[in-house]
Amino acid sequence: MRRVPSESRGETDRIAELQREVGQLKDAVASHAVVDQAIGVIVGLGRMTPDGGWTVLKEVSQHTNIKLRSVAELILLWGRSGRMPEGIRAELEDAVDRHGPTQIPGAPPLERRPPR
């Protein structure tokens, strides 16, 4: 059996470590894109600022005890299919009511739903 020099093993370990790090970074970029797209859906439908959309997404995640990325994925699926689990939909509506919608200049006043 051929022996691998310790320098080669160290380099191999470093390459494996860098490959894991690249994989983690790719996952983070993909997750960030999903979250940003979901915020865009919330901003468009809730007529609020991106900061408001982020707050809504974060609150829905916290109040439903579902990971933020998973909530974001459900919102994107909802945007494509029109379907969303009832509990998440109710929490999303409540959060949008708490943080928006903002009034558009010149638009008639919006009717606010009574709190649940």
Q: What share of the chain has pLDDT > 90, as a percent?
A: 49
Where do the structural domains in the chain lie, given as residue ranges? 20-99
**pLDDT one digit per residue (tens) for the chain, 116 residues:** 555 555 677 888 888 888 898 888 877 777 789 999 999 999 998 889 999 999 999 999 999 999 999 999 999 999 899 999 999 999 999 999 998 765 555 666 656 555 55
Q: Give 8-76 as a DSSP string.
A: HHHHHHHHHHHHHHHHHHHHHHHHHHHHHHHHHHHHHHHT--HHHHHHHHHHHHHHHT--HHHHHHHHH
